[in-house]
Amino acid sequence: MTRLCHKPPRIDQPRPAQGVSISRRDGRAVECTALEMRHRGNSIGGSNPSLSASFPFMTLTLNSPDAMPGGKARSCFLVSMARLILFNKPYGVLSQFTGGGPGETLADFVAVKGVYPAGRLDKDSEGLLLLTDDGKLQAQISSPKFNKEKTYLVQVEGEPSVDALVQLRKGVTLKDGPTRPARAKLIEPPDLWPRDPPVRFRKSVPDHWIELIITEGRNRQVRRMTAAVGLPTLRLVRWRVANWTLEGIAPGQWREVRAGLGPARR
């Protein structure tokens, strides 16, 4: 949950020490020598023989901070990992906490304060929506410059031809410019939950499923891409963003996970 250190460049190498007791709320405890404790720009410290403060996930208590080896003050940095929530957004729900009717906003499903969507998912689309309390992580997930892959399962109207799939892979030209090359393939109907309301089909026109992987996130991009190659989208489910998937998460449910992106694709 947290990592402790004496100097910021070495946050992955904790050192045992004395003078400051840090009790994690999960029952574990660690110690670190410090006259000053910093947490996201806030600091506490001084010559008080005893001083307590609470942070997310832990409580800090300074006991006799002047009793340090050699009398030297060192800084100890507390790094609290960002919160990251995987939410399976149902059809008809907005990617925001306010501004909709009953059952139409994230507030009706995610009772967690201080988190915000990293990217968006249209009201008429379903699937994985990431929420975090960390602005930097939010940008890394949603900004196209970080090239984070997003996998969509797309039910389309019509018969996807080889030429249509090739066009999607090479990139298609939309009103706001050409899209980046994507990965596209025809797949068997995925084992998904029934949509509410059900998808409207035309009995005279066949439907098929495509897996489409993109690294952008323009407004209604996937729908516009399939329409550009003559395949209107009937149902759209985002299954994966970067390393996170919907596996095991039912519609309207969420799960909190470790926030770790790994290296960006280039």
From the list 122, 124, 134, 196, the catalytic residue is 122
Give backbone dihedrals phi and psi of 140, rounded to 5 degrees, phi first.
Answer: -65, -35
pLDDT for residue 203: 85
Whether this prediction's pTM lies above 0.75 is answered by no
Residues 181 and 158 in one domain: yes
Residues 107 and 148 in one domain: yes
Q: Is the pLDDT of residue 11 over 60?
A: no
Average pLDDT, the chain: 78
pLDDT for residue 17: 37
**Sign of the CA dihedral 257, 261, 265, 266?**
positive
List the domain range (segments joined by +) for residue 49.
Answer: 2-80
Residues 219 and 233 in one domain: yes
Task: Look at residue 264 and tell me if it is in a domain.
Answer: no
Asked about 122 being catalytic, the answer comes back as yes
pLDDT for residue 56: 39
Task: Look at residue 262 and tell me if it is in a domain.
Answer: no
End-to-end CA distance of the chain: 29
69-105 pLDDT, tens digit per residue, is 444 444 444 445 789 999 999 999 999 999 999 999 9
Structure-block tokens of residue 237? 């489910």
pLDDT for residue 63: 45
Q: Is the pLDDT of residue 26 over 60?
A: no
Task: Look at residue 135 and tell me if it is in a domain.
Answer: yes
Task: Look at residue 117 and tell me if it is in a domain.
Answer: yes
Residues 39 and 159 in one domain: no
pLDDT for residue 3: 43
Task: Look at residue 266 and tell me if it is in a domain.
Answer: no
pLDDT for residue 75: 41
Q: Is the pLDDT of residue 138 over 90?
A: yes
Residues 42 and 89 in one domain: no
Residue 184 CB: number of other CB atoms within 10 A? 24
d(CA 105, CA 93): 6
Tell me the CATH number at 118: 3.30.70.1560
Residues 205 and 241 in one domain: yes
Residues 102 and 189 in one domain: yes
pLDDT for residue 261: 58
Total count of domains within the chain:
2
pLDDT for residue 9: 41
Residues 197 and 91 in one domain: yes
Radius of gyration of the chain, Cα coordinates, nearest whole angstrom:
24
80, 112, 138 — which closes off a domain? Answer: 80
Q: Give percent of the chain with pLDDT exceeding 70.
A: 67
146-191 pLDDT, tens digit per residue, is 999 999 999 999 999 999 999 999 999 999 999 999 999 999 999 9
Beta bridge partners of residue 89, listed in sequence order: 127
Task: Look at residue 263 and tell me if it is in a domain.
Answer: no
33-72 pLDDT, tens digit per residue, is 333 333 333 333 444 434 344 333 334 444 444 444 444 4
Residues 188 and 231 in one domain: yes
pLDDT for residue 77: 41
Q: How confident is the model at residue 130 (pLDDT cuts 50, 70, 90)?
A: very high
Residues 76 and 95 in one domain: no
Structure-block tokens of residue 230? 């003559």
d(CA 182, CA 203): 30
pLDDT for residue 259: 81
Q: How confident is the model at residue 262 (pLDDT cuts 50, 70, 90)?
A: very low
C-alpha dist (Å) from residue 14 to 2, 31, 41, 63: 10, 10, 20, 20
